[in-house]
Amino acid sequence: MRTGLRFLAFADPGSAPGDALPLCRFYVRPEYGDSHFYSADVAECAATLAKFSNSWVYESPAVFYIMLPNVATGTCASGMKPVYRFYNSINGIHHRYTTDVNVRDDLIAKRVWRQEGYGSPPNQVVMCAPAA
């Protein structure tokens, strides 16, 4: 379900900081769930492709460019905003992405959504978006 919320990213490597990474995008076919999955982790993109190639369409290895947080702490660099990713633990397919802490906390409280990312809950961060 679309929420009307969004996060920013860099459209191409020329407009992005030097350490920005390409973000891959997968589309889960409607017969399996009709959803999208995003990752800036090259290893995670490769693992997703290997594991779900029959049900998920690999749409792009670089739909846009974004930063990864510190992998130990989940902290974003100055001028960047944490992006939180959740997956639905009931069906294991649908994902939610948010930069809004209130939305993050609401998803955690529902106990259906499982947080993914770097760092420790509730501050597990999957990527870092430009703040403005």
- Per the confidence metrics, is the pTM higher than 0.85? yes
pLDDT in tens, 41-91: 999 999 999 999 999 999 999 999 999 999 999 999 999 999 999 999 998
Per the document, the length of the chain is 132
Find the mean pLDDT for residues 89-115. Answer: 94
> Is pLDDT at 1 greater than 60 in this prediction?
no
> Is pLDDT at 92 greater than 90 in this prediction?
no
Residue 80 DSSP SS3? strand
pLDDT of residue 2: 63
DSSP 18-77: TT-EEEEEEEE-TTTT-EEEEES-HHHHHHHHHHHTTTEEEEEEEEEEEB---TTT-PPP
Closest by CA position to 11, among listed 63, 52, 56, 74: 63
Q: Where are the domains of the chain?
A: 21-130
